[in-house]
Structure 1
């Protein structure tokens, strides 16, 4: 279960979560790909552990080299760590008790400061990241250029180093076959849409990550404001499309929702893809008042908790066993 995913969050009928991420690097030390396995890599990690794991702080440290492949995939599926971090020789993850705060050390950049929050909360997510940045800044001098801003390994992050991503459930736009057109249009506002797991991933069950593209030549506060305005309009558009779809096709929508609910309630084995698709439909049904077996946040948690690595007890476990375990977990949760 995602411990940070709470009920009654803002716009949770459409928004799963908001993530703010700051990319920072230690001044005077080459980027991670240049210092793997060196004393400088250990210096980078030491600064982070000194900042977040001192006396009276309850963060924990996970070293990627000590984790199994299943454990690494779980971190990825829970949106806590990236694939790049999990394959880094010196990669480490510093986590808060509820896993809402994470510091990825020696990923593409020396530090990726991340905060996850239920619902639509770009302002809060940004503020928490700023507080993390201040804490780390007491132990590490940041690489900064007066003309360019914060220096990063990838040119697309130079400037603020700030990415704010919002995970949206766009089932209505998908059913109306307008989701591609709508998401293509947000590029003119400096935003982009990706799959559930960010860059390079495909959408899963009509869940999309929408985030800012531009980090250079903009103020951090303006990035937050733009996310609030553009994503806010996208949320309203999704709600209106759902309303119209239900008004014009009530029987069809109710039938699809209840069929999905029936499969989830009674299936004895179910694949990850089928579970996600049905959970996606039920989540929309909850929002429309068609069915109310649980909260939408519970559905969002089920989607993450039933991913392959979350259910695996060992490497190379038979797929059918995971499918059985997935169906059992869903039935128990919906009872």
Structure 2
């Protein structure tokens, strides 16, 4: 039945069920079912953070911890948590599409409950849909990473360590937020990265250069954070038992601005600028540098926690192309 001819009294009160009805009328039952699964997971995630799936922040670009309603940062944090829990990239992308479609439809329903032909596309900004002007992989040389660490906002010791740790281990933003004190083995200089979905972990090493910084944070700096004694997480804050993904994003993007490295690569559908250098840039930087240093694809895949080796081999291809460019620039001539 078309929603044009549907009595509004037949429309479900539950927002996700209502979305399912509307979306099935426009697309397909299978897509609607798949999107519903993503949205139910999304609602559960929000409820743990005491947020209502229908309550949208007036400023969707606000930091999630600063407002009661749902923001774009909540979406990014949720996707990061999915990655950290072992969900494949395709699954996370499906969740992004479902959340985007849900809020577009929700906005239109509030304007006119009987109108299902037109989906307001402006709400896609909440899921950070961007112009297609970004390079597939943005990465930084070591000296630029050091510049980021030298220009982080306060608290400097914690934030500088986070920048260096993201670069030195290739952790995802959500994985770093979920690190617990007991996950750090200072004797072996390794970190256990757990995936909730698979129920297992991978070990990633950290270099000697971070040994003292990590010790300083764990033995001194962390204990100076109010409430840290009640938290099991490596990076608690004064407001929460663990740092949020949006806070990590903010400190990296702010450091890039202060270091003069930040670039704008495009805008969302509402014209807001998007930063090129983010926490994920540091993960890319780790992977490309590891490939340049000769790490084989299977080892790199395991350290990154990736499932598809074809994705990992992108970094090896970039390293190879950089080597060719370096040869052209610095190789001998006769």
Q: TM-score range by the shorter chain?
A: under 0.3
Structure richer in strand, relative to its length: 1
TM-score of the superposition, structure 2-length normalised? Answer: 0.22
Structure richer in helix, relative to its length: 2
Larger RCO (CA within 8 A; separation ≥ 6):
1
TM-score of the superposition, structure 1-length normalised? Answer: 0.22
